[in-house]
Chains A and B, each alone.
Chain A
Amino acid sequence: MATTASVALKGRKTPGVLPGFGLTLGYTMVYLSLLVLIPLSAVFIRSLSGGWGHFWEVVTAPRVLASLRLSFGASLIAALINVLFGLIVSWVLVRYTFPFKRFIDAMVDLPFALPTAVAGIALTALYAPNGWLGAWLKPLGINVAFTPVGIVVALTFIGLPFVVRTLQPVLEELDKEVEQAAASLGASPLQAFCRVIFPALWPALLTGFALAFARAIGEYGSVIFIAGNMPMKSEIAPLLIVSKLEQYDYAGATAIAVVMLVLSFALMFGINALQNWASSRHGER
């Protein structure tokens, strides 16, 4: 009885027979505007309060550029690391069985659930010259804490779940038969991977990469303890924003914020477009 009704209704393009459209959409728009859109606009408006000239001057100052390069650069590296290891981890979690697998699988989401400040002090404790890992790395000449390397480590932690969780469903749905067919036709595991598996994976890989990248760019809490905060060297962009705020330089702080927001939004739209494109590809199979 449900099917006839739904078949009849599926062809309709109008909002539909269900009630509540006006109420829910209205509430959604109001809540969204009041809590997100209008406050966000304050940043853009304030950044231009000194005029375009001042905005441009602030944003192209060497210290600002260095911090943006660092934030984006370290996020990029961290996201790439997560792509590589995320691929391995999701592969291992989907394809193999081993003791405690379910527990480890659940733990992959830890960076999602753990407060950033806790991650920050924990990572700093680990990698400082007298920390568990830091003490071990120091004789090797590797300094992690208070260097850009430490920032990359913190951002890797933050982005870890994104690649793994994006890849897992795709890997799970991968038709094993195609792989087996390739193997039976004489392809080596590497060939099978490159020509059969990877093409199916890379949209999800790209999405996961983009998500990890986007997450890492604005990260503050977990990085602030382990970063060196040296201007021009290890000072991340969010810290520079806070610095400028503390010097009553609102125009400067908001200008940097606008640059970060524009780049992050562009990234986000890109991710959504990617996802839509990937879903349309997937749907055609």
Chain B
Amino acid sequence: MGRLLLIVTALLFLAVFLLLPLLAVFAQALAKGFGAYYLAISAPMAWAAVRLTLLVAAIAVPLNLVFGVAAAWAIAKFNFRGKSALITLIDLPFAVSPVIAGMIFILVFGTHGWFGGYLRAHHIRVVFAVPGIVLATIFVTFPFIARELIPVMQTQGKDDEETALSLGATGWQTFWRVTLPNIRWGLLYGVLLCNARAMGEFGAVSVVSGHIRGVTNTMPLHVEILYNEYNYTAAFAVASLLALLALLTLAGKSILEWRQPELRHAARVPRDRTRRANT
């Protein structure tokens, strides 16, 4: 009896808070039928937004990937002073409100910012153009991949790499043939999360974008624009594309977690698992 009550409470909570909003998106998107839905997602402005979103993610995710791997390598395979400080610094973007994340780049690259004069003189556009959007996106998704990789690499320890080196492999060979295969599921996991956030970022991009239709509007911004044009069906239609992306991300996540169960809890338990791993 108590058991049933708990299950029902849990399911009800999840239904109201998770399921209903998701259903609302699709219900509103299809409110005027499939014809209107298709029209909305094939409109030129919508396509421009999709292309921009994909472009931004295609730049931000790989850059953060390289960083994540480098940082995880340094942190997991070596001991040095200030390591935990470094880990905390990497986490900083998580604690920054998206609005502030956008604002800092205006402060640095805007006309009245630090580099404003220089950029202006050389006709380089950063904020209110695509580079600014990319920068803001990199900032907000900064820790994702590193955070997933660090515990994974810490758990795996240095043994495999040291063995390879002692057998005569070079550093790079060790990395490509030993480390990467070991961390590939964690890597994919991190990329998946990083990508989902990169494509869905709203607040930070909203501040730096300039909202130039067809040019600097990502999908989330485009959703807001359609919403403000009384075009709710179209807004929810584009939003449904993002929701589908979210569902795909969740599916991918589940598959990866099934493959490597440690991933599930990698980022959410204390970071210093080397002690456990080495016992």
| A–B interface present (Cβ within 8 A) | yes
Contacting residues, chain A, for B92 (C-beta < 8 A): 36-37, 40, 265, 268
B230 at the interface (CB under 8 A from A): no
Tell me whether A20 and B73 are in contact in the complex, defined as CB-CB below 8 angstroms, given that A121-B239, A214-B95 are known contacts.
yes
B212 at the interface (CB under 8 A from A): no
A99 to B161, CA, bound (A): 44
Interface residues of chain A: helix, strand, loop or mixed (majority): helix
Are B88 and A18 in contact, CB atoms less than 8 angstroms apart?
Answer: no
B125 at the interface (CB under 8 A from A): no
Interface positions, chain B 87-136, Cβ under 8 Å from A, are: 87-100, 103-108, 113-114, 135
A60 at the interface (CB under 8 A from B): no
Contacting residues, chain B, for A267 (C-beta < 8 A): 95
Are B100 and A32 in contact, CB atoms less than 8 angstroms apart?
Answer: no
A239 to B103, CA, bound (A): 12
A28 to B73, CA, bound (A): 10
Among B88, B98, B114, B220, point to the contact of A118 (Cβ < 8 A): B220
Are A18 and B270 in contact, CB atoms less than 8 angstroms apart?
Answer: no
Are A113 and B246 in contact, CB atoms less than 8 angstroms apart?
Answer: yes
Contacting residues, chain B, for A160 (C-beta < 8 A): 17-18
Interface-located stretch among B37-45, B180-188, B271-279: B271-279
Contacting residues, chain B, for A282 (C-beta < 8 A): 270
A170-208 contact mask (Cβ, 8 Å, vs B): 1 or 0 = 000000000000000000010000000000000000000
Chain B min CB distance to A223 (Å): 10
A260 at the interface (CB under 8 A from B): yes
B177 at the interface (CB under 8 A from A): no
A52 at the interface (CB under 8 A from B): no
Chain B min CB distance to A219 (Å): 7
Are B163 and A118 in contact, CB atoms less than 8 angstroms apart?
Answer: no
Contacts across chains A and B counted by CB atoms under 8 Å: 319
Are A35 and B162 in contact, CB atoms less than 8 angstroms apart?
Answer: no
Contacting residues, chain A, for B95 (C-beta < 8 A): 214, 218, 261, 264-265, 267-268
Are B246 and A115 in contact, CB atoms less than 8 angstroms apart?
Answer: yes
Are A113 and B249 in contact, CB atoms less than 8 angstroms apart?
Answer: yes
Are B220 and A115 in contact, CB atoms less than 8 angstroms apart?
Answer: yes
B86 at the interface (CB under 8 A from A): yes
Among A92, A107, A119, point to the contact of B7 (Cβ < 8 A): A92
Are A261 and B89 in contact, CB atoms less than 8 angstroms apart?
Answer: no
Are B269 and A279 in contact, CB atoms less than 8 angstroms apart?
Answer: yes
B61-90 contact mask (Cβ, 8 Å, vs A): 1 or 0 = 000001100110110011110001011111
Q: List 5 A-B contacts (CB under 8 A).
A: A28-B86, A85-B9, A88-B10, A115-B242, A272-B271
Chain A contacts to B: CB under 8 angstroms: 1-2, 5-6, 9-10, 13-21, 23-25, 27-28, 31-32, 35-40, 42-43, 46, 85, 88-89, 91-93, 96, 98, 102, 104, 106-123, 125-126, 131-133, 153, 156-157, 160, 165-166, 168-169, 189, 214-215, 217-221, 224-225, 237-239, 241-242, 245, 250, 253-254, 257, 260-261, 264-265, 267-269, 272, 275-276, 278-279, 282-283
**Top 3 A-B pairs, shortest CB-CB distance:** A115-B200, A218-B97, A279-B270
